[in-house]
């Protein structure tokens, strides 16, 4: 399963086949857990490859340009790349935490109310730890406090 990322560092899965639960199938059974573990591990691997690519890019392209404008452009480019990698580093930690919750059979259930998060929501956002209702309430509260 090959992937690329969008600007929010969420996985964009190519040739992705959504999980099709069978009638009466128990939620978060072994097969479903395997489906999500593969998604999470593949996503983590992709992010790690991006980190390696950035390191090599910065080593290969590090030049001491005599022109201050060229130097500034390169420094800004490197700064942007490093900020992106820092966000991805935090995302890798979240993926690791999600994989751990999968191992403890806590994955797929809302941390606020305990109900099923849902297969489709988890496929869209594999690191989701809240159901759509609880997440919506959190965002409303955040918006009210921020205004």
Q: What is the pLDDT of residues 62-100, one digit of tens each?
A: 777 888 898 888 889 889 988 998 999 999 999 999 999
Percent of all residues in the chain with a pLDDT value above 90, rounded to a whole number: 63
Task: Report yes or no: 58 and 113 within 8 Å, Cβ to Cβ.
Answer: no
Distance of alpha carbon 54 from alpha carbon 81, whole angstroms: 7
Q: What is the CATH number of domain 27-107?
A: 1.20.120.910
pLDDT at 12: 56
| Residue 123 pLDDT greater than 70, yes or no | yes
- Residue 4 three-state SS: strand
**C-alpha dihedral sign at 18, 24, 26, 27:** positive
pTM for the complete prediction? 0.80
List the domain boundaries for the chain: 27-107, 110-147
- Residue 20 three-state SS: coil
Q: What is the pLDDT of residues 60-72, one digit of tens each?
A: 777 778 888 988 8
């Amino acid at each position: 399963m090959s992937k690329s990322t969008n600007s929010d560092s969420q996985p964009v899965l190519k040739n992705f086949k959504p999980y099709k639960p069978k009638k009466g199938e128990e939620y978060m059974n072994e097969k479903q857990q395997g489906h999500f573990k593969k998604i999470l591990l593949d996503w983590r691997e992709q992010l790690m490859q991006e980190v390696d690519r950035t390191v090599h890019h910065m080593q290969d392209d590090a030049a001491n340009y005599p022109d201050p404008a060229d130097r500034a452009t390169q420094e800004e480019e490197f700064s942007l790349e490093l900020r992106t990698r820092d966000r991805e580093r935090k995302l890798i930690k979240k993926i690791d935490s999600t994989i751990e919750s999968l191992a403890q059979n806590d994955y797929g259930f809302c941390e606020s109310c305990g109900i099923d998060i849902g297969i489709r929501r988890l496929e869209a956002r594999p690191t989701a730890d809240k159901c759509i209702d609880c997440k919506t309430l959190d965002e409303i509260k955040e918006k009210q406090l921020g205004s």
